[in-house]
């Protein structure tokens, strides 16, 4: 008998960092499978374009900084007002800067730390009560392989990803008995806008050897489709050309 995956039609998924790259690809794949998506990023114009592409019956957007608890709560309240529930949270918003620990300004460093870690914490805090009430849901944190081993040109960035890994590990232990699964999706370099101008260059030949956003988005949809009797926690991904 064929292994029975979950049908995610009608499931409501909150995605941060949704205007490009992994977040946008995840939104597209999820809507193709019948899910509803609640999208967040800073750029309202780009969010509006994606909602128009996916259809207003399938998507809604909240512009703003998900590292701000007020914005995070607005994301959750918008999901409930539009679709009536929240089934999955995908904290995906992220900023990368490559170079020395001394290469960037205080404001740039603080923005990266806030987006990558605080944005993860606050959107989970805002959306989790709905899933706890149902005793069912998925938290799928988009981190990085840098969360397990930082390179010499990414120390602060790697620190934020280690923080996400630690957070997810604690949440898995806290929430598994309450019906909420917690997974980490940790890709290696992915061909997106991420870190362009901050250590990566548009059109660089190296980008052609990276993962594609759809590769990572597929892992997100796969985690959601696992039977509820199964939980998996750490997914690491590399392209065939990348060194692990």
**Mean pLDDT computed over 17-44:** 97
Spatial contact of 200 and 207, defined as CB atoms under 8 Å apart: yes
Give domain status of residue 244, yes or no. Answer: no
pLDDT tens column, 78-87? 999 999 999 9
Domain harbouring 135, CATH code? 3.40.50.720
Is-catalytic flag, 98? no
Residue 159 placed within a domain:
yes
Residue 210 has pLDDT above 90, yes or no: no
Is residue 242 included in any domain, yes or no? no
* Domains identified in the chain, total number: 1
Which residues contact residue 45 at a Cβ distance below 8 angstroms, ignoring those fewer than 6 apart?
A: none
pLDDT for position 241: 84
Q: Is 211 helix (H, G, I), strand (E, B) or coil?
A: strand
Q: In this predicted model, which residue has the larger pLDDT, 202 or 76?
A: 76
Does 2 reside within a domain? Answer: no
State residue 202's pLDDT score: 66
Distance CA 141, CA 29 (A): 17
Evaluate whether residue 3 is within a structural domain.
Answer: no
How do strand 234-237 and strand 59-63 relate by DSSP bridges?
Answer: unpaired
Per-residue confidence (pLDDT) for residue 192, from 0 to 100: 67
Give rounded-to-5 percent helix, strand, coil for the chain.
45, 15, 35
- 81 falls within a domain: yes
* Domain, as residue range, for 104: 12-237
pLDDT digits (tens, 9 = 90+) for 146-177: 999 888 889 999 999 999 999 999 999 999 99
Cβ-Cβ contacts under 8 Å for 153 (sequence gap 6 or more): 98, 99, 100, 199
Q: Residue 115 carries which DSSP code?
A: I
* Residue 111: C-alpha distances to residues 59, 77, 134, 157 (Å): 27, 25, 34, 11
* Tokens standing for residue 4: 């029975």
| Structure confidence at residue 203 as a pLDDT band (50, 70, 90) | low
Q: Determine which one of 3, 104, 117, 157 is catalytic.
A: 157
Is 5 among the domain residues? Answer: no
Is 4 among the domain residues? no
């Amino acid at each position: 008998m064929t292994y029975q995956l979950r049908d995610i039609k009608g499931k409501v998924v909150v995605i941060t960092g949704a205007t490009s790259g992994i977040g946008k690809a995840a939104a597209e794949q999820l809507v193709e499978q019948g899910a509803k998506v609640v999208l967040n990023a800073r750029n309202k114009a780009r969010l509006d374009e994606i909602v128009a592409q996916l259809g207003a019956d399938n998507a809604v957007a909240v512009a703003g900084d998900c590292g701000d608890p007020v914005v995070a709560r607005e994301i959750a309240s918008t999901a409930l007002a539009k679709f009536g529930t929240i089934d999955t949270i995908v904290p995906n918003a992220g900023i990368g800067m490559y170079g020395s620990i001394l290469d960037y300004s205080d404001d740039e460093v603080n923005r990266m730390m806030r987006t990558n870690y605080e944005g993860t914490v606050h959107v989970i805090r805002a959306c989790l009560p709905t899933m706890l009430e149902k005793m069912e849901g998925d938290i799928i944190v988009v981190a990085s392989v840098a969360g397990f081993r930082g390179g010499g040109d990414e120390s602060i960035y790697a620190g934020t990803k280690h923080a996400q890994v630690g957070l997810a590990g604690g949440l898995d232990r806290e929430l598994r008995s309450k019906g909420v699964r917690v997974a980490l999706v940790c890709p290696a370099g992915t061909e997106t806008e991420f870190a362009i101008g901050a250590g990566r260059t548009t059109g660089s030949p190296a980008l052609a050897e990276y993962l594609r956003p759809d590769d990572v988005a597929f892992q997100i949809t796969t985690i959601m489709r696992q039977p509820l009797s199964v939980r998996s926690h750490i997914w690491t991904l590399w392209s065939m050309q990348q060194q692990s």
